[in-house]
Structure 1
Amino acid sequence: MNINRLTIVLALFAIGLTACSKDEGPEPFPAGTATLYMMNEENGRTTLGNSDVYITAEGNFRSAQFPIFDVGETRGIGQIEMPDFVNMASEVAVRPRHGYVICSPRDIVAFPSRTQAIAENAAVYRVWVDSWIRDQERVTGANVRFLLGRPDEQDRMPAWGSDLGALNWNDTESRSETLRIAIPASDPKEVEVIFPYEEEVPIGWTLRRNELVLNIERGHFDPTEYRMRIRCHHIYTEVTLRTDYVY
């Protein structure tokens, strides 16, 4: 009787561990993921989605318009993160089980730190190669899965073009109020704030855990609406912010 009970307990424990392991990590193939039998240029030259990306006879992805980034081996679309956008290649090797990012070079900018980042509202192809397609021993293409979306699919950053509201200077108390923005980074090296359309601004910022804290650094300024860019890792967004006085 005790042995039977022990067997049941162990079985339930094993089921629990299996369930937990299945819940770990992102969904390998999120909703909207498409499957493509991508034939190479000698067997129909299938292109990826609405792009000009195709597979060459040598087994490479090639494009005349878009840089292609190999992000290494992943378990599916859901694990594909944005690359550092440093080495922009128009042709890269097709490798089963590897993930790729394909985007427009116009959506990538360099920040003062020389870090490259892609716009939050950019259109991005995440591509995952399942396996080769073969005709006997000859490779004729690849089984590919892809998803067209945005760099920040989890909406962890402020949306492009959103209004953060007002950042005020309390003139009675001669101090700045603060504005806090949740961002997906806690390392100051992974965060950058710039005002690309202004030469001088009265706004300063600090990073406290996963919050960007904005304040006005001096009490003499003209109330203004600013366009501000926030970089987190290799994604950036552009938002608006107003400065004003309160009494």
Structure 2
Amino acid sequence: MNTKRIVGIFLLSLCTMCFVNCSDDDTPDDPADTITLNMLNEHNGKTYLGESKTYINEANNFVTSSNFISDVGNGAGVGADILPSLTNLTHEVAVTPGHIYQIFDKNTLIDFPSGNHAIQVEASYYQAYVVSKIVNSDMTIGAIVKYISVFPNNNGLPAYRYGIGSLHRIGETVELALPQNIEFFLKEHSAGKKGLNVTSANNKLRITLTKAPDIVNGPYGTFDLYIRSNNIFTVVEVYVE
């Protein structure tokens, strides 16, 4: 076998290996608004992730006091299309290369009577992906992190603080079309909740006035109705006048 043929076979094998390795990398393209951050831990600069006040501590864990963070687990990249993960919320979690994390403003989350967590419709959260550790002299001093701001799907819910309508007389009703399998509750009012009957049937929410408006003893004023669809919630307003 001559030298030229040996070199040719070697180059062909090299190209084949390169093609296979590149094809195995199924990481999706990063979204256009992706930010790549060299997050140094608290002893080497204490870099914060966006406006979340999340940083990496001495133990090389993500830490946040004013927010919640969720470790989603292994992921394909920062642009992975995944739902908000609200089942394992915490304030501190290990920084693991290859994992996706979601960071939520605690003021946008609530617990429903069923025990399910939900994030407010139209509220954003951070989705982050740990690319690798940052190592200096065999010491881990931080991590390379990519992150984006995400707005979840509204799941067919109306806008936050949407006004359903006004009730003036006993027996008067307002309705709101909604998706299936919702959960709802009427927030306690200064005038109490007596006087409003809330029911759900055939993908419609019905609010009926069962007591005459009373500016002193109620019902009177604006009532907040919380509605959840999967892991998204909204608040709609009903006016009793």
Match of 1:91 in 2: 92
1:1-247 equivalences under 5 Å are 29-75=30-76, 76-85=78-87, 87-135=88-136, 137-150=138-151, 152-153=152-153, 156-165=156-165, 178-181=175-178, 183=179, 186=180, 188=181, 191-198=182-189, 199-200=193-194, 201-206=196-201, 208=202, 212-216=203-207, 226-241=223-238
Cα contact 2:167–2:209 (8 A) shared by 1:
no
Match of 2:20 in 1: none
- CA-to-aligned-CA distance 1:79-126 (integer Å, 9 cap, x gap): 3422235x4422100112212122233332221112222222444222
How many aligned positions are there?
203
Assess, with a 3 A threshold, how the Cα gap between structure 1 residues 28 and 213 changes in structure 2: closer, same or farther. farther
Scaled by the length of structure 1, the TM-score of the pair is 0.66
Scaled by the length of structure 2, the TM-score of the pair is 0.67
SS in 2 for 1:106: helix
Question: Which one-letter code corresponds to 2:110 in the other structure?
Answer: V
In 2: Cα distance, 1:175 partner to 1:227 partner: 18
In 1: Cα distance, 2:135 partner to 2:43 partner: 13
In 1: Cα distance, 2:111 partner to 2:69 partner: 18
Shift of 1:166: 6.6
Shift of 1:224: 7.4
Shift of 1:226: 3.7
SS in 2 for 1:82: coil
Question: Which one-letter code corresponds to 1:162 in the other structure?
Answer: Y
Between 101-110 and 91-100, the greater mean CA deviation after superposition: 101-110
Shift of 1:196: 0.6
- CA-to-aligned-CA distance 1:183-225 (integer Å, 9 cap, x gap): 4xx4x3xx2111113523223113x5xxx31235687765975
In 1: Cα distance, 2:67 partner to 2:101 partner: 12
Shift of 1:51: 2.8
Q: Which runs of 5+ in 2 are unaligned?
A: 1-27, 214-219
Question: Which one-letter code corresponds to 2:46 in the other structure?
Answer: R
Question: Which one-letter code corresponds to 2:161 in the other structure?
Answer: G
Cα contact 2:103–2:126 (8 A) shared by 1:
yes
SS in 1 for 2:67: coil
Cα contact 2:154–2:232 (8 A) shared by 1:
no
Cα contact 1:102–1:125 (8 A) shared by 2:
yes
Q: Which runs of 5+ in 1 are unaligned?
A: 1-26
Aligned-residue identity in percent: 29
SS in 1 for 2:107: helix
SS in 2 for 1:79: coil
- CA-to-aligned-CA distance 1:146-186 (integer Å, 9 cap, x gap): 12344x256743221223457999x9xx99785323x4xx4
In 2: Cα distance, 1:232 partner to 1:175 partner: 26
Assess, with a 3 A threshold, how the Cα gap between structure 1 residues 95 and 143 changes in structure 2: closer, same or farther. same
Bigger Rg, which one: 2
Shift of 1:60: 0.9
In 2: Cα distance, 1:134 partner to 1:239 partner: 50
